[in-house]
Amino acid sequence: MKMFIKVQTKDAPQAIGPYSQAIEMGELVFISGQIPLTPGGELVDGGIEKQTHQVMKNVQGILHAAGSDLNHVVKTTIFLKDFDHFQQVNEIYGQYFSEHQPARSCVEVSRLPKEVLIEIEVIARKK
């Protein structure tokens, strides 16, 4: 009996290292940090707004593959390269989490993979 189930979807970029897009454990889904890569692996340029939307699309794709959605997210962690982007990210984030507002942390970091501006990791429960 497997305790952990690997989640794999073509609706989000493939892992760029030795990790999974997400892991299911019981009713919980743990999504690895998503950066603004398209499902085809292309880096989204164009600033924090476009990068944030792409990250959220990736999260949605993985949630769907795991049998969940944004309404079942319990916790997010946002990593920002520049905390001056917080207000812009917060506005976009609010478009995805308007009524349902999961617990959240947001921290500034010195670097992110591929020099992107944002990374988001998610914990959700299955539907």
* Catalytic residue positions, numbered: 106
Sheet holding 28-34, edge to edge: 5-7, 22-25, 28-34, 118-125, 73-80, 103-108
Angle between helices 48-65 and 86-96 (to 10 degrees): 30
Kind plus residue range of the DSSP H or E element containing 31: strand 28-34
- Token pair belonging to 112: 């992110």
β-strands 73-80, 103-108 pairing: parallel
Contact 59, 104 (CB under 8 A): no
